[in-house]
Amino acid sequence: MSKQAVTGRRDRVGVAVALTVALLQAACSTTYQPRASGRVGVVIHHAAPMYVKDGREVPIGPFGGDLASLVADTPAAAMHARKANTQLFIGVPTYLTGVAGVIVGIAVLSGPVGWVVIGIGAVTAGTGLGFMGSGVTHAVDAVNIHNDGAPDKSPGAGALIPPARPGAH
């Protein structure tokens, strides 16, 4: 194969990868914006999850974002938000450290030392996953507790909603 053919193929692969990444970025967004209601919602903008409350968007990020400020007016929700932030702040680095240990144990070390490093890495990663899972559930609890107690400030709030017709889905 000629050098020109290899370069042309490499260019086409590069363009295909760039196009795929661009399409995935565009595909990973929500278009719906929750109304200003005093409740906390979640939207996705440019593949990044965001909390939204009354039009204010707060990035979630790997450590749960600043959820506590959004739910501060509900003490029980604020407690769950702080706990979520703490557990994610512990869990994410612990998980990544464990995965790195497993990779080092597999790729670099051999024999009994490698197996020990793999085992310690796996236990560390599992511990990190446990903290992360608990952190996410506390974040969900914070949002739900806040939303259950939040007064609906949207226009038309409190208007009667007609009951569903029998058999309507």
Which structure tokens are listed for 40? 């906390």
The per-residue pLDDT string of the chain (169 residues; one tens digit each, 9 = 90 and over) reads 555 555 566 777 777 777 766 656 555 666 777 778 889 998 888 888 899 998 888 999 899 899 999 999 999 999 999 999 999 999 999 999 999 999 999 988 888 899 999 999 999 999 999 999 999 999 999 999 999 988 766 665 544 455 566 665 5
- Structural domain contains residue 136: yes
Q: Is residue 105 part of a domain?
A: yes
| Residue 111 resides in a domain | yes
* 167: Cα within 13 Å, side-chain hemisphere: 0
Q: Looking at the domain assignment, is residue 44 inside a domain?
A: yes
Question: Is 101 within the bounds of a domain?
Answer: yes
**CA 118 to centroid of chain Cα atoms:** 27
- The SS3 of residue 169 is coil
Residue 83 inside a domain? The answer is yes
For the entire predicted model, the pTM comes to 0.70
| Cβ count within 10 A of residue 11 | 10
- Residue 39 makes CB contacts below 8 A (sequence gap 6+) with 53, 146, 147, 150, 152
Query: What domain range includes position 112?
Result: 29-149
Please state the domain count of the chain.
Answer: 1
Which residues have CB under 8 Å from 166's CB, separation 6+? none
| 12 belongs to a structural domain | no
